[in-house]
A = this chain, B = another copy of it.
Amino acid sequence: MKLHTLAAAALLSSGAFAQSAAQPATAMPAAQAAAPAPASLGGLQFLYGSGEAAALSRQTYAALEAYALAQAARRPADSVVLAQGATLAAPAYVPCGDKPFAAVFDIDETVILNTGLMHSRALGPGAARDGTVLPVPGAVEAIRALKAAGITPIYNTNRTTNMADGVVTALVSVGLEAPVHGETLFFNGDDALRGNKDGRRATIAAKWCVVAMAGDQLGDFSEMFNHLQPVAERRRVAMDGAIGALWGRGWFTLPNTAYGTALEGTLAEIFPAATANDNTKDAR
């Protein structure tokens, strides 16, 4: 098989494109990985085709850049990585001390867009493999600005270690400096937690003062989100309280409507019966 076919097949079988992580993260079964659920056309239109998603991404990276630079200038006491034993209800963070500054980025659909893979997958079996990768709008400029300000970009991906070369190539192809595995690049398989990124975050935060994190799925910020049920509870926890206040202030989400943990739930789970407001009650 051609290298890009191997790479694409490996990408499909890695945890990076797991359709569901609402359970504790596990390696994606190979048979399931070979034929993942196709992304809806609307999901592809939004993420890869729309000016609206491009605007959202530019906006996110503008906010991340401004926030990270401001934080580095003021030398914060705390990082934005949750500490061991912290809960989402009562978050606590790994302290910064004098550690050098860093920002942690997921890769797929956070820094790069896997347009080729998603296109060929949508075309169906028999479509030629396509390794085209594009930058998420705004990502490269923001990461370069962070680097210039002394904030080291560190990549934390759920691709597996056998895909290391492909990942570095992809990052370089969109104009980023090649990261170094074990220093500024971490994979699923680097520790025993596999697709649970908490351990790798702890490893990174032990050495770096992490001032910002970016991802397209809540597991890019804490594994605890992957254990919340039902869908409405997970949304509530993400939206409210101390966690809700983090978005745009250390934690930065990029949209992903093609695959991943955002695409969960039956109609009844998305629209639970208890409603906050019914404006018909007050209609005149």
- Point out the residue from B2, B63, B217, B282 that lies within 8 Å of A59, measured CB to CB: B63
Whether the Cβ atoms of B45 and A283 lie closer than 8 Å is: no
**A276 engages B53 (CB within 8 Å):** no
List the B residue with the shortest CB-CB distance to A217.
B52
- A83 at the binding interface (Cβ < 8 Å): no
- Would you call B134 and A239 a contact (CB within 8 A)? no
A residues 71-113 with Cβ under 8 Å of B? none
Chain A 39-83, CB-CB to B under 8 Å as 1, else 0, gives: 111111110111111111011111100100000000000000000
- What is the distance, in angstroms, from A107's C-beta to the closest C-beta of chain B? 12
Given contact pairs A131-B278, A255-B255, A262 touches B51 in the complex (Cβ within 8 A): yes
Number of identical protomers: 2
Stretch at the interface among A26-34, A146-154, A197-205, A244-252: A244-252
Say yes or no for A123: interface residue by CB 8 A criterion: yes
- Judged by a CB distance under 8 angstroms, whether A4 is at the interface is yes
State the CA gap A270–B44 with chains docked (Å).
Answer: 7
Contact of A231 (CB < 8 Å), options: B50, B170, B283? B50
Residues of chain B lying within 8 A (CB to CB) of residue A25: none
Rounded to whole angstroms, the CA-CA distance of A282 and B170 in the bound complex is 9
Tally chain A residues at the interface, Cβ within 8 Å: 90
Question: What residues of chain B lie closer than 8 Å to A60, measured between beta carbons?
Answer: 56, 59, 248
- B218 touching A278, Cβ below 8 Å: no
Given A279-B173, A280-B7, A283-B169: A42 and B45 interface contact (C-beta under 8 Å)? no
Residue A192 interfacial (CB < 8 Å): no
Q: Which residues of B contact A262 (CB under 8 A)?
A: 45-46, 49-53
Encode A170-193 as 1/0 by CB contact (under 8 A) with B: 101110000000000000000000
A172 to B131, CA, bound (A): 50
A114 CB to closest chain B CB (Å) equals 10
Q: Taking the complex as formed, is A196 at the interface, i.e. its CB lies under 8 A from any CB of chain B?
A: no
- In chain A between 222 and 280, which residues have their CB closer than 8 angstroms to a CB of chain B? 225, 228, 231-232, 234-235, 237-239, 244-245, 247-249, 251-253, 255-257, 260-265, 267, 269-271, 275-280
CB-defined contacts of A270 to chain B, threshold 8 Å: 44-45, 48-49, 119
Inter-chain contacts of A256 with B (CB < 8 A): 52
Known contacts A42-B257, A52-B262, A59-B252; 15 further A-B pairs (Cβ under 8 A): A3-B280, A4-B283, A41-B267, A43-B257, A45-B262, A45-B270, A46-B262, A51-B218, A51-B235, A52-B261, A54-B239, A62-B245, A115-B275, A137-B244, A173-B282
